[in-house]
Amino acid sequence: MSFINYASREINCKIVYYGPGLCGKTTNLQFIYQRTAPDAKGKMISLATETERTLFFDFLPLSLGEIRGFKTRFHLYTVPGQVFYDASRKLILKGVDGVVFVADSQEERIDANIESLENLRINLKEQGYDLDKLPYIVQYNKRDLPGAMSVDELHNELNPTNVPEFEACATTGEGVFETLKAVAKLILIDLKKGK
């Protein structure tokens, strides 16, 4: 749910990065944070455990520029990927405008990917959303690893609805901004339609 403020001429939107544990959601945000000009970003907040696993969420505010005199701001969130943090994941999906599903390309993680994707659908439904109607992008992360499955295989398992998909390596940043731009664009197009 976006927030439009005529008084300050701002439009705020919320993007959530979802996916199984250790798939690279936080790494996506960290790369975006590192490569964004200081005036376009706010502080990145990570609520993580001592071992740097996301406990509640990571948060990164970005401003993209103006459209027709309105400042566009995007709030990027990640969810904790580990299965037992499901209650927290549900909370973060509240008011979401667009979703990025970050998949781990490694063969041994395919079951975790599928489980997380089902979990995303269920949790969205609980909040009254339908994944098929939301701006939604799939990112195949960790393409650089030797155990990575082919994109075709991943597509068959994880993207039956043919939403835009990107290959990525979040540690080097490959595909990270392409993913962000694609989801931001889908959200803006959605807003244009006036929902």
Partner 1 sequence: MSNPTLVMYDEEFREVNEVIERLLKEANAKVIFLVDKNGQLISGVGETERFDTTSLASLTAGNIAATGGLAKLIGEKEFSILFHEGEKDNLHISIVGGRVILVVLFDNRSSLGLVRLRVKKSSEELSTIFEKLMNKSEEREKRGSSDFPFAEITDDDIDNLFS
CB of 104 to partner 1, least distance (A): 25
CB atoms within 10 A of CB 75: 18
**Rounded to whole angstroms, what are the CA distances from 43 to 28, 62, 77?**
15, 9, 13
Asked if residue 101 lies in contact with residue 165, where contact means CB atoms within 8 angstroms, the answer is no
With CB under 8 A as the contact rule, the residue among 72, 106, 159, 179 that binds partner 1 is 72
Q: Which residue(s) pair with 58 in the sheet? A: 46, 78
Asked if residue 151 lies in contact with residue 140, where contact means CB atoms within 8 angstroms, the answer is yes
How many amino acids of this chain bind partner 1 (CB under 8 A)?
46
Nearer to partner 1, 1 or 145 (CB): 1
Token pair recorded at residue 87 = 């209650």
Q: According to the binding rule CB under 8 A, does residue 136 interact with partner 1?
A: no
At 134 the three-state DSSP class reads coil
Q: For the segment 170-189, give every residue that binds partner 1 (CB under 8 A).
A: 181, 184-185, 188-189
In which region does residue 41 sit, left (phi positive, over 0), alpha (psi from -120 to 50) or beta (all else)? Answer: beta
CB of 71 to partner 1, least distance (A): 11
Nearer to partner 1, 45 or 151 (CB): 45
Q: According to the binding rule CB under 8 A, does residue 194 interact with partner 1?
A: yes
Interaction pattern, residues 81-120, with partner 1; x per rule: CB under 8 A = ------xx-xxx-xx-------------------------
CB atoms within 10 A of CB 182: 22
Q: For the segment 1-60, give every residue that binds partner 1 (CB under 8 A).
A: 1-8, 11-12, 14, 42-43, 45, 47, 56-57, 59
Instruction: Provide the residue count of the chain.
Output: 195
What is the DSSP code string of 79-102? ---SGGGHHHHHHHTTT-SEEEEE
With CB under 8 A as the contact rule, the residue among 29, 65, 141, 179 that binds partner 1 is 65
CB of 111 to partner 1, least distance (A): 27
Interacting residues with partner 1 (CB under 8 A)? 1-8, 11-12, 14, 42-43, 45, 47, 56-57, 59, 61, 64-65, 67-70, 72, 75, 87-88, 90-92, 94-95, 127-129, 181, 184-185, 188-189, 191-192, 194-195
